[in-house]
């Protein structure tokens, strides 16, 4: 049986903050691109720019890994790729099951990035009997009745849920009961899991809503800027107000005659 269920990444035991863990894949992606271009070393500033973080934060993150680079030289790209891959648990093979082989599930099954990043799609599972045995990305779809056996025999510890929202919690419960301890959830719902089970949620609609918020703010700023450009300068406004006060002081209560008639 595969050992994916019992071997966990070393990050938690070594006290690496969750925020740092979340940035490690960004560094790994940037480093992998450099490695593919045969770049031997990289400075913290260059790597930080490629990963989209500031260099001080990058150096702090790498200090948790015990990697400080070499002054005047930078970081060894290949060694950092290995080091981060090891911390993320990517130096071993992680079998993954995908449950829900609709359009999204099929797209995930066809995604070529799993294998190159240390993950192997061990099984595709769906509740539709009509899909049973049909190959998707070269893997035959299996019925949900076989879920527990598949997880047990394959030593699967990571499950991907791509079902409709209404079925997601039941699928989650079965995955957890069968021994899955990490779940990537694409279903548009919040899952309830016991302690010791990690859930990462990917909700495209939420991400789009966040982008819409930023678009609205940018539109509001543009409107405010345009409105500000139409306002007279402060000095002109003050002069206009002063002139109005002087005019009111010279006029009488009716606004037409002086308040004090000349002798």
What pLDDT, in 10s, does the model give residues 46-73?
A: 999 999 999 999 999 999 988 777 777 8
Q: How far apart are CA 171 and CA 229, in angstroms?
A: 57
Do residues 179 and 149 lie in contact, with contact meaning Cβ atoms separated by under 8 Å?
A: no
Q: Do 62 and 100 lie in a common domain?
A: no
How far is the C-alpha of 141 from the C-alpha of 121, rounded, in Å?
Answer: 12
Same domain assignment for residues 73 and 108: no
* Residue 41 and residue 128 share a domain: no
Q: What is the mean pLDDT of the chain?
A: 83
CB 238 within 8 A of CB 231: no
Q: Which two tokens stand for residue 247?
A: 């005019």
Query: Can you name the residues that pair with 70 across neighbouring β-strands?
Result: 74
- Under 8 Å between Cβ of 110 and 104: no
Answer yes or no: do 113 and 47 share one domain: no
Residue 64, domain member (yes or no): yes
Q: How confident is the model at residue 233 (pLDDT cuts 50, 70, 90)?
A: low
214 assigned to some structural domain: no
Q: Is the residue at 213 inside a domain?
A: no
Flag whether 216 is in a domain.
no
Name residue, tokens 């799993």: 114
Q: What CATH number is attached to the domain comprising 184? A: 3.40.50.720
Quickly state the pLDDT bin for 148 (edges 50, 70, 90): very high
Number of domains in the chain: 2
Instruction: Give the angle 155-114-64 at the CA atoms, nearest 5°.
Output: 85
Q: How confident is the model at residue 234 (pLDDT cuts 50, 70, 90)?
A: low
Among 40, 62, 87, the domain boundary falls at 87
Asked if 81 and 131 sit in the same domain, the reply is no
* pTM of the model as a whole: 0.66
Structure token digits, residue 86? 């090891």
User: For residue 225, is it within any domain?
Assistant: no
Is residue 51 domain-resident?
A: yes
Average pLDDT of the segment spanning 86-114: 90
Which structural domain, as residue segments, surrounds residue 79? 18-87
CATH of the domain at 62: 1.10.10.10
User: How many other C-beta atoms are found inside a 10 Å radius of the C-beta of residue 97?
Assistant: 23
3-state SS, one letter per residue, for the chain: CCCCCCCCCCCCCCCCCHHHHHHHHHHHHHHHHHHHCCCCEECHHHHHHHHCCCHHHHHHHHHHCCCCCECCCEEEHHHHHHHHHHHCCCCCCEEEEEECCCHHHHHHHCCCHHHHCCEEEEEEEECCHHHCCCEECCEEEEEHHHHHHHHHHHCCCEEEECCCHHHHHHHHHHHHHHCCCEEEECCCCCCCCCCCCEEEECCHHHHHHHHHHHHHHHHHHHHHHHHHHHCCCHHHHHHHHHHHHHHHHHECCCCCCECCCCC
Residue 104 is assigned to a structural domain of this protein: yes
Q: Are residues 118 and 141 in the same domain?
A: yes
């Amino acid at each position: 049986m595969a050992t994916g269920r019992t071997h966990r990444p070393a990050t938690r035991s070594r006290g690496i903050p969750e925020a740092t863990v979340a940035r490690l894949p960004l560094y790994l992606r940037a480093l992998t691109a450099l490695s593919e271009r045969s770049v031997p070393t990289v400075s913290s500033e260059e790597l930080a720019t490629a990963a989209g973080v500031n260099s001080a934060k990058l150096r702090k993150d790498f200090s948790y890994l015990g990697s400080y680079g070499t002054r005047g030289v930078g970081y060894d790209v290949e060694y950092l790729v290995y080091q981060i891959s090891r911390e993320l648990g990517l130096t071993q093979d992680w079998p993954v099951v995908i449950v829900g082989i609709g359009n999204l599930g099929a797209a995930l099954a066809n995604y070529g990035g799993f294998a190159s990043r240390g993950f192997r799609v061990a099984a595709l599972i769906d509740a539709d009997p009509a899909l049973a045995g049909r190959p998707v990305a070269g893997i035959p779809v299996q019925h949900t009745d076989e879920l527990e056996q598949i997880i047990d025999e394959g030593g699967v510890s990571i499950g991907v849920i791509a079902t409709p929202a209404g079925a997601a919690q039941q699928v989650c419960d079965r995955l957890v009961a069968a021994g899955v301890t990490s779940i990537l959830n694409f279903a548009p719902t919040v899952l309830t899991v016991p302690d010791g089970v990690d859930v990462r949620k990917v909700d495209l609609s939420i991400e789009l809503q966040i982008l819409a918020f930023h678009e609205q703010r940018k539109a509001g700023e543009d409107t405010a800027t345009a409105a500000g450009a139409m306002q007279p300068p402060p000095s002109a406004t003050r002069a206009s107000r002063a002139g109005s006060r002087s005019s009111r002081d010279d006029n009488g209560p009716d606004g037409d005659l002086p308040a004090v008639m000349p002798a």
